[in-house]
Structure 1
Amino acid sequence: MFERFTVGARQVVVQAKAEAAELKHGYIGTEHLLLGILADPQDPSAAVLVEAGLDHDAARVVVVRLLGSGGDAQALAAIGVDLDAVREAVEAEFGEGALDGPAGGDQSRRRGWFKGGGGRSPFTDRAKKTLALSLREAIRLGADHIAVGHILLGLLREGDGLAARVIADHGLDVKAVRRAVEARLA
């Protein structure tokens, strides 16, 4: 499916991964895809949201407010778990680097778009569904490629992820956004 993605659409996925990493989230969700779309406000489909007042910074503030940042370490520290102490104890018992994962070529092997560490996908089920729906949106609109706008339409069509909530909570009419994006894609 990814061979049908335009350069811009591929950049959305790459940026979504970077957004998740920067927020220290161990997954890529619909909210990260939305942030990836908004990272390029010059894209005509992203501009629909930006012109309606939802830019990257505003969306990111909402994502951080709803999910936080800092990942598991911050959450565990909040309840009194010191990960450095846990690491020291494990390494004292099992040797230095016991928690570092498998050594060798695992990291150097090429992974598919959906693959994360250990063969798991870093994409949530909703994010995977969004990307599949972006293909359906492209086909529905008669396109032979998947552009940024198709990913945004996939987010809107999925409708239950955090990205859809960010858009709706910002006061945007989802149907109006859909119509505007379709018009820009035409």
Structure 2
Amino acid sequence: MLERFTSGAREAVVGARQAATDQQRPVGTEHLLLALTADPGPGGTAVREFAPGLDAAAVRAAIERLVPSPRPLLDAQDAEALRSVGIDLDAVLARIEETFGPAALERPKPRRGWFRRTPVEPPVGRFVPRAKKVLELALREALRLGDGEIGSGHLLLGLLREGEGLGVRILVDAGVDLAALRQACEERLGHGRAA
């Protein structure tokens, strides 16, 4: 499917993956929205017009608000408490990593059991199912409109059609009229009613 993406849409997907990796998270719809804020094509133009205050910094702040970073195993208060009894936490952590490897203190990933399935979050930089659905819906939007390629505008239309991810929630929280945004995006793609 990626071979049908325009260079702008590919850049948006790569930008979403990079943003998620920078935040040490899997790629979600919020990262696709973040990448679209910098896109010069129809998708990014429509987002900037209908959500003028929703730039990359605002989307990053919304992501941090909606999906807070996991609490570290040991924080500054823990270090101070240990220091008060004569234990140097930094030295202990360094020794653990030296002995057991750099990933020794990472939180264990949930595992599947015999009788139940524990949901497992995709690794950093991988697409969550909802973000994969947006890419699939972008293809469907391009087909619906009779376009031969999938562009950034189709990514935005897929994001809006999926309708339940954090990307849409960020748009709604910013007061964006989703129906008007969809119509404007279609117009920029050369479809729909002209304003």
Deviation at 1:170, TM superposition (A): 0.7
Letter in 1 for 2:61: V
Cα shift readout 1:99-155 (whole Å, capped 9, x = no counterpart): 5xxxxxxxxxxxxxxxx87xx971000000000000000000001110000000000
Deviation at 1:85, TM superposition (A): 4.8
Aligned to 1:58: 58
Mapping of residues 1-186 of structure 1, within 5 Å? 1-22=1-22, 24-40=23-39, 42-52=40-50, 53=52, 54-68=54-68, 71-72=69-70, 74-77=71-74, 85=92, 88-89=95-96, 91-92=98-99, 94=100, 96=101, 122-186=126-190
SS in 1 for 2:73: helix
Cα shift readout 1:34-80 (whole Å, capped 9, x = no counterpart): 1011122x323211111222322222221122223xx54x5434595
> Take 1:87 and 1:29, find their aligned partners in 2: how far apart are those partners?
33
Structure with the larger helix share:
1
> Which consecutive residues of structure 2, in runs of 5 or more, have no partner in the other structure?
80-88, 105-121, 191-195
The 1:171/1:84 distance shift into structure 2, 3 A limit, reads farther
Q: Indicate the percent of aligned positions where both proteins have the same amino acid.
A: 43
> Which consecutive residues of structure 1, in runs of 5 or more, have no partner in the other structure?
100-115
Report the TM-score, using the length of structure 2 for normalisation: 0.72
Count of residues in Structure 1 that have an aligned counterpart in Structure 2: 162
Cα shift readout 1:141-180 (whole Å, capped 9, x = no counterpart): 0011100000000000111100000011111111111011
Q: Is the 8 A contact 1:37 1:148 kept in 2?
A: yes
Report the TM-score, using the length of structure 1 for normalisation: 0.75
Structure with bigger gyration radius: 2
The 1:157/1:76 distance shift into structure 2, 3 A limit, reads farther
